[in-house]
Amino acid sequence: MKKPQPGGGQIAVLIVLFFLLVWEAAVSLSQIPVYLLPAPSRILQTLFEHPQLYAQASLLTLGEAFAGLLIGLLAGVLIASLLTLMPGLEEGVMTLAILLKSTPLVAIAPLLTIWLGFGILPKIIITALLTFFPVLVNVLSGLQKAENHHLELFHSWHASRGEVFRYLRAPNALPYLFAALKISAPLALIGAVVAEWTGASGGLGRVMWLAYTNLNLPFLFAAIFILAAAGMSLYRLTVWLERRIIFWQSHPEP
């Protein structure tokens, strides 16, 4: 893990601002109609004209994303742990997991909506399914990739499989868990939105779908802006947590 460049965050903000400015200028200079591409100022205006609508939709979507991520995370960590402690199960379970992973969620999402209705449950399930796989694969490889010299040491202590797991494999897998989180956290947002898109009583996906069917692009883009901001914040939060928890990783291993 590299230390952040001094001012790295500011540079990212500047680039985004610059991009928005170019967008704004391009739209106003070329007179692109608003039903094709609204200017950022117009999008932000829409956002602030309907604060309650967007706040409620965001809360719902983020809640679903968060709940799904949590379930996917727990399931991934649990199953990875189980497969590490009982390696005989690995091949069978991983085949099932890949089968699940290869099934297009775009096809499953409407089915879940048909079976479970327009509530939050199908959204949480889709999100959990989507976030589960990166966690499973990364954490499993983290648990299995304990270093040889450490394994030899634990062998010389005649440590039990459980002790090796608890004192060596689990802490060793923490950096892998964070690598998975960096992939799964943005996926959680996508999962919740895609699930809402296929039928929901609320949420940003629902707002986007309504805006899309009415060709109301400022409404659509406002939701996209919120999602982008939420994705960024989630990612930064993950990195922040990682720096605090995996303090030994910024240094070469002894």
Partner 1 sequence: MKVEIAALNHTFFTPQPRPALLNLDLHIPSGQFAAIIGPSGCGKSTLLRLIAGLLQPTSGSILLDGKTPAEANAARQVAWLAQSPALLPWLTVEGNIALARKLLATRLNHQMSVQQALQRVGLENAARAYPFTLSGGMQQRLALARLLIQNAGLWLMDEPFAALDEITREQLAAMLLDLWQPAQPTVLWVTHNIYEALRLAERVIVLSPAPGQMVADFSVALPHPRREDTPAFQNLLYEVRTALNQAVEAAA
> Could you say which DSSP state residue 247 is in?
G
Q: Decide if residue 157 touches partner 1 (CB under 8 A).
A: yes
User: Does residue number 244 form part of the binding site for partner 1 (CB under 8 A)?
Assistant: no
149 binds partner 1 (CB under 8 A): yes
**Complex with partner 1: residue 118 or 154, whichever CB lies closer:** 154
Is the distance from CB of 188 to CB of 205 less than 8 angstroms? Answer: no
Is the CB of 48 or the CB of 152 nearer to partner 1?
152
Under the criterion CB under 8 A, does residue 161 sit at the interface with partner 1? no
Residue listed under structure tokens 């956290």: 185
Q: CA–CA separation, 87 vs 80, rounded Å?
A: 10
Residue type, 127: T
- Contacts of residue 133, defined as CB under 8 A and 6 or more positions apart, other chains included, come to 76, 97, 100, 101
For residue 253, the minimal CB distance to partner 1 (Å) is: 6
With 0-12 CB in 10 A as exposed, 13-18 as middle and 19+ as buried, what is 107? exposed
Residue 172 CB, shortest distance to partner 1, in Å, is 8
Please report whether residue 159 would count as binding partner 1 according to CB under 8 A.
Answer: yes
Using the minimum distance from each CB to partner 1, give the nearer residue, 155 or 236. Answer: 155
- Is the CB of 9 or the CB of 171 nearer to partner 1? 171
Smaller CB distance to partner 1: residue 115 or 253?
253
Select from 45-53, 121-129, 145-153, 176-184 the region that touches partner 1 (CB under 8 A).
145-153
19, amino acid identity: F
Token readout for 211 is 């805006």
Distance of CA 228 to the CA centre of its chain: 12
Site for partner 1 in 167-196 (CB under 8 A): 167-168, 171, 174
Q: Is 243 in the site for partner 1 (CB under 8 A)?
A: no
CB of 177 to partner 1, least distance (A): 13
What do you get for the CA distance between the two ends of the chain, in Å? Answer: 16
* 152 near partner 1, rule: CB under 8 A: yes
| 254 interacts with partner 1 by CB under 8 A | yes
Q: Could you give the CA distance from residue 239 to residue 242 in angstroms, rounded to a whole number? A: 5
Structure tokens at 169: 């494999």
252 belongs to the binding site for partner 1 (CB under 8 A): yes
CA neighbor of 246 nearest in space, from 183, 170, 184: 170
Cα torsion 38, 36, 187, 182: sign: negative
Q: Which is closer to partner 1, CB of 42 or CB of 169?
A: 169
Interface residues with partner 1 (CB under 8 A)? 147, 149-150, 152-153, 155-159, 163, 167-168, 171, 174, 247-248, 251-254
